[in-house]
Amino acid sequence: MKPITIIKTGSTFPDIKTNHDDFETWIAKGLGHATRAIEIIDVTLHHPLPQPDSLAGAVITGSHDNVTDNPHYCSELESWIRRMVISEAPLLGICFGHQIIAKALGGVVDFHPVSLEVGTKEIQLLEPGQKDMLFQGMPDRFKAHVFHSQSIRKLPEKAVVLAKNSFEPYQAVRFAPRTWGVQFHPEADDAIAKCYLFHLADNIRKSGQSLNQLIAQLEKTPYAAALLEQFGRILSAME
């Protein structure tokens, strides 16, 4: 049985890691496939990327890096993403992962022209999303946690927008038949989301938003969380 690979592009804040583990743990738990091997490839530590045909599929994590800073691992990761798309091995990018897939395929990523998007927000599933296998069984509107100041500003060719909201037009995108990205965080629960709000407090205030209001608006996000489990089911169905 081929493994699922989690491409780790960074770590959470140290105190969150101590109390809640790290990005890859949240994603592995969300996938819900304990009987399948999950391997972690940390590109920030120069771990070699696997051959696409050796994988059941892969998830690219979020990161505290900015795509526009072109971290040292990005060139190799972008090349690998293009190989994954050609191989049609299922691939899901989250936040930074979503953005780096877009860049690898010819899109443009930059800072959002308004401010950062943080907290629990409503996501609207569009008609293509309602028909997409990754969003099977999802309602037309659902809540998700978001934490980002950069966004996809221009989509790659042939990309299909699956979900949006009033702040972010590309909350979910199908970049290729088996390649998806989501700007929101299906792996983060409300406790993790609250921790992030406190860490981003200065940036939140500078953006003119209320930290207390954002904390009060936090909700559980079961539908967003179900997305990772659905991705795991897709991997099993395709083997």
Q: In this predicted model, what pLDDT tens digit does every residue of 25-45 receive, in sequence order?
A: 999 999 986 557 899 999 999
**Distance, CA of 11 to CA of 77 (rounded, Å):** 17
Q: Are 149 and 207 in contact (CB under 8 A)?
A: no
Q: Which residue has the tokens 């290729």?
A: 176
Domain ranges within the chain, ordered by starting residue:
4-238
Q: What is the pLDDT of residue 82?
A: 98
Q: In this predicted model, what pLDDT tens digit does every residue of 214-231 receive, in sequence order?
A: 999 999 999 999 999 999
What is the band of 239 on the pLDDT scale with cuts at 50, 70, 90? low
Identify whether 76 is a catalytic site residue.
no
Q: In this predicted model, what pLDDT tens digit does every residue of 72-115 receive, in sequence order?
A: 999 999 999 999 999 999 999 999 999 999 999 999 999 998 88
The one catalytic residue among 24, 117, 168, 187: 187
SS (H, E, C) 68-128: HHCCCCHHHHHHHHHHHHHHCCCEEEECHHHHHHHHHCCCEEEECCCCCEEEEEEEEECHH
Q: In this predicted model, what pLDDT tens digit does every residue of 163-194 receive, in sequence order?
A: 999 999 999 999 999 999 999 999 999 999 99
Q: What is the pLDDT of residue 115?
A: 87
The one catalytic residue among 33, 95, 117, 145: 95
Fold for domain 4-238?
Answer: Rossmann fold (3.40.50)
Angle between helices 96-104 and 74-87 in degrees, nearest 10: 80
Rounded to an integer, the average pLDDT of 65-70 is: 97
Distance between start and end Cα atoms, the chain: 8
Identify whether 95 is a catalytic site residue.
yes
